[in-house]
Amino acid sequence: MDLGFAGRNVLVTGGASGIGLACARAFAAEGARVVALDLADGPADVPTVRADVTDEPSVVAGVTEAVGRLGGLDVVVGCAGISGPVGTPLVDTLAADIAAVLAVNVTGQLLLAKHTYPHLSTGGAIVLLASDSAFVSAPGMVPYCASKGAVVALTRALAVELERVRVNCVCPSIVDTPMARGDLGDDALDQADFPVQSPADVARQVLFLAASPTVNGQALLADYGYSARSGFPA
Ligand SMILES: NC(=O)c1ccc[n+]([C@@H]2O[C@H](COP(=O)([O-])OP(=O)(O)OC[C@H]3O[C@@H](n4cnc5c(N)ncnc54)[C@H](O)[C@@H]3O)[C@@H](O)[C@H]2O)c1
């Protein structure tokens, strides 16, 4: 199936690592022209513009440079994110750590939409990384879960407000990335007794949403069906 990305212009935040990098490579494999926007430089095969999604002048400068390189935007993917002090109970969590999670995961997505929308072509698409943590939790994840719930809500609000483009988000369960390994440790992922997605699995979800002209304002929960399970042992 031709997804229609050949020659299209794609910007991916967080594109230097993990899911964002997999998305950048997946779009490039479909023939798209891709620029990553990230705090860090990624691998050489993904051109990267350095910017901080929490800082509005930095976002404006980064988007301007990316648009200058690409000549326009057709798809924007918001993957930049942090997990914050995962494992720390809320009562022991510093206000500064809460603010940092919300700044990257929520404000960062809002600034991305604000400053890329004027450059997006009619019929373009924004796909944001939320998480299954918008819907389910484990202890020690309150700020992160709150931030991802906000991404689902702001996705729906943007889909209503932004008339020329579609806005959707993906909500994957645990994915094998540097973030997950940093939070859980290598052993937890290498000997996992729970299903673990690859970044390429999530990239497929992102490309599906970007390529589907009738899907708008949706949160795609990709969790192997776990959240559909009844608590009743039927
Ligand atoms: N890994 C998982 O299990 C998982 C599951 C569901 C959702 N997610 C979400 O997927 C997204 C990508 O996560 P990942 O696991 O690939 O993490 P990652 O740490 O591998 O990659 C995140 C990237 O975001 C960049 N970044 C962080 N803060 C930034 C900022 N202020 N400005 C610009 N770039 C910034 C980092 O430099 C990094 O390249 C995040 O939003 C995360 O919450 C991850």
The domain ranges of the chain are: 9-214
Average pLDDT, the chain: 97
Which pLDDT tens digit goes with each residue over 172-191? 999 999 999 999 999 999 99
Q: Ligand 1 pocket: which residues have CB below 6 Å?
A: 13-14, 16-20, 38-40, 52-54, 79-82, 104, 108, 129, 131, 172, 174-175, 177-180
Catalytic residues, by residue number, are 144
Q: Are 119 and 97 in contact (CB under 8 A)?
A: no
> Left if phi > 0, otherwise alpha if psi is -120 to 50, otherwise beta: which for 149?
alpha
Q: How far is it, in rounded angstroms, from Cα 1 to Cα 80?
A: 29
Give the number of other CB atoms < 10 A from CB of residue 114: 14
Model pLDDT, residue 138: 95
> Left if phi > 0, otherwise alpha if psi is -120 to 50, otherwise beta: which for 114?
alpha
pLDDT at 96 over 90: yes
What confidence category does residue 233 fall into, taking pLDDT thresholds of 50, 70 and 90? confident
Read off the DSSP letter of residue 158.
Answer: H
For residue 21, report the distance from its CA to the centre of ligand 1, in Å.
Answer: 10
CATH number of 9-214: 3.40.50.720
Instruction: Tell me what the mean pLDDT of segment 2-27 comes to.
Output: 98
Model pLDDT, residue 158: 98
Q: How far is it, in rounded angstroms, from Cα 154 to Cα 194?
A: 30
Instruction: Tell me what the mean pLDDT of segment 201-222 comes to.
Output: 98
- Closest ligand 1 atom to Cα of 58: 32
